[in-house]
Amino acid sequence: MAISYPTPRKSHEKKIDRSNLGMTLESDIEVTNQYYYDKKIAVIHKKPTPVQVVNVSYPARNKAKIVEAYYKTPSTTDFNGIYKGHYIDFDAKETKSATSIPLKNIHQHQIDHLKAITEHGGIGFLIVYFKAHNEYYLLPFDVLYNAHIESQTKGGRQSIAYQTFKEKAHLIPFSYQPRLDYLKIVDQLLIKPS
């Protein structure tokens, strides 16, 4: 029997590679965001996973119980918020490949959304985790967009090379607290826009 899994957002039930931490990229970011919030550094939240509710039952005196629903494709990115007065917007992606991340991992509507965001003066990017290297990168939207445009051309590359990350993205330090200090990279972008 073919088993199809939901979009790996609520991946708590899935087997996780990072056995030491038992955490996913997403929860690493959420822990980081909580740290930023507690320290009054930034207010950045993950949006809830969108669900199409079809049927709800009301067990006696209990709260509404959803008995039929389906995961929907998000129309935006997963994370947004405010940092030093700037609108911040990003998505998190991971790849097992040591050499590249396939562009099919990044949906057209996410490209469109981030493009709109940056056009309105926001800061848009991806956080990409290369499992094989155990490295996290902040990929500025303009680098992503250029790769996306190239992929639309005949014979154009359909992925972003690891080498491109080395050259044009920014390695995010992974530490105890905050776990993934991506705003340190945003600080650099604010000083010297790419």
Q: Note the residues at the interface with a second copy (CB under 8 A).
A: 1-6, 10, 37, 40, 42-43, 45, 47-51, 53, 56, 58, 60-72, 74-76, 80-87, 89, 113, 116-117, 119-122
Nearer to a second copy, 21 or 69 (CB): 69
Per-residue tokens: 136: 């996290």
Residue 177 assigned as binding residue: no
CB of 30 to a second copy, least distance (A): 11
Residue 110 assigned as binding residue: yes
Per-residue tokens: 128: 């990409």
Residue 188 assigned as binding residue: no
Asked whether the CA dihedral 38, 83, 24, 72 is positive or negative, the reply is positive
Nearest residue to 138 via CA among 190, 90, 98, 96: 90
CB of 126 to a second copy, least distance (A): 17
At residue 141, φ and ψ (nearest 5 deg) are -60, -35
Q: Residue 60 burial by CB count (10 A; 0-12/13-18/19+): exposed, middle or buried?
A: exposed
CB of 86 to a second copy, least distance (A): 7
Nearer to a second copy, 93 or 113 (CB): 113
Taking the C-alpha atoms of residue 58 and residue 67, their distance in angstroms, rounded to an integer, is 10
Nearer to a second copy, 22 or 85 (CB): 85
Nearer to a second copy, 1 or 153 (CB): 1
> What pairs with residue 161 in β-bridges?
100
Bind-site residues for Mg(2+): 76, 78, 91, 110
Bind-site residues: 76, 78, 91, 110
